[in-house]
DNA sequence: ACCTAATTCAATC
DNA sequence: GATTGAATTAGGT
């Protein structure tokens, strides 16, 4: 994993792909997952180059998050409200930069169609569980909930 | 020169 | 914010 923490390229474009920058941001975080806004912040905080043309590169970065299987969208937990989901690195993609550079990996990380479907089902299940908590102030009758679910 | 990863534009939800 | 496609740019051999 790329792990630059305090670099300075001035106003020059740093030699990292959006995938690298995003992986750095996520890896640098305590929980190894960040909402979009924090990924942006990580990048603009240390690379002045990205304080311009924000609409362009942020759209590209979002494209990367959705398109690349190495990034997975974790639904936000009810106890941590905010906008958008969290983004994490797929555990099987930790080594996606080996034998490559931070500008261009040797191969794209792509999940098998079947593995992708399994992952999507798991995340969808998580979203459903979270929905049970959504906007409830008082504690839910867990005993009852569990009995209904299982 | 070639392969294909990365970036961009932009429609759509 | 997130997803997707199509077209273009560009890194690495
Ligand atoms: Mg993804």
Please give the distance, rounded to the nearest whole angstrom, from the Cα atom of residue A67 to the centre of ligand 1.
5
pLDDT exceeding 90 applies to what percent of chain A? 76
Provide, in whole angstroms, the distance separating residue A125's CA from nucleotide B1's C1': 49
Q: Please report the pLDDT score of residue A7 as a whole number.
A: 83
* Residue A111 φ/ψ, nearest 5 degrees: -80, 150
CB of A57 within 7 Å of some strand B atom: yes
Q: Please report the pLDDT score of residue A149 as a whole number.
A: 56
pLDDT of A72 over the 70 cut: yes
* Residues (81-110, chain A) with CB within 7 Å of strand B atoms: 100, 103-108
Mean pLDDT of chain A: 90
* Mean pLDDT to the nearest integer, A76-103: 94
ipTM of the complex: 0.96
Read off the pLDDT of residues A43-67 as tens digits, 9 standing for 90 and up.
999 999 999 999 999 999 999 999 9
For every residue of A43-94, DSSP letters joined together read HHHH-GGGGSSHHHHHHHHHHHHHH-TTEEEEPPPTTS--SS-EEEE-GGGT
Rounded-to-integer distance, Cα A115 and Cα A3, Å:
28
């Amino acid at each position: 994993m790329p792990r630059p923490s305090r670099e300075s390229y001035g106003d020059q474009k740093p030699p990292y792909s959006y995938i690298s920058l995003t992986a750095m941001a996520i890896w640098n975080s305590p929980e190894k997952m960040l909402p979009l806004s924090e990924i942006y912040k990580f990048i603009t905080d240390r690379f002045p180059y990205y304080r311009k043309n924000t609409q362009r590169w942020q759209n590209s970065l979002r494209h990367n998050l959705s398109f690349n299987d190495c990034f997975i969208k974790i639904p936000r937990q009810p106890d941590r409200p905010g906008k958008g989901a969290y983004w994490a690195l797929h555990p099987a993609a930790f080594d996606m930069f080996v034998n490559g550079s931070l500008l261009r990996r040797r191969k794209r990380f792509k999940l098998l169609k079947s593995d992708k479907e399994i992952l999507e089902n798991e995340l969808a299940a998580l979203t459903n569980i979270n929905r049970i908590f959504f906007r409830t102030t008082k504690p839910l009758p867990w005993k009852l909930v569990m009995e209904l679910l299982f």
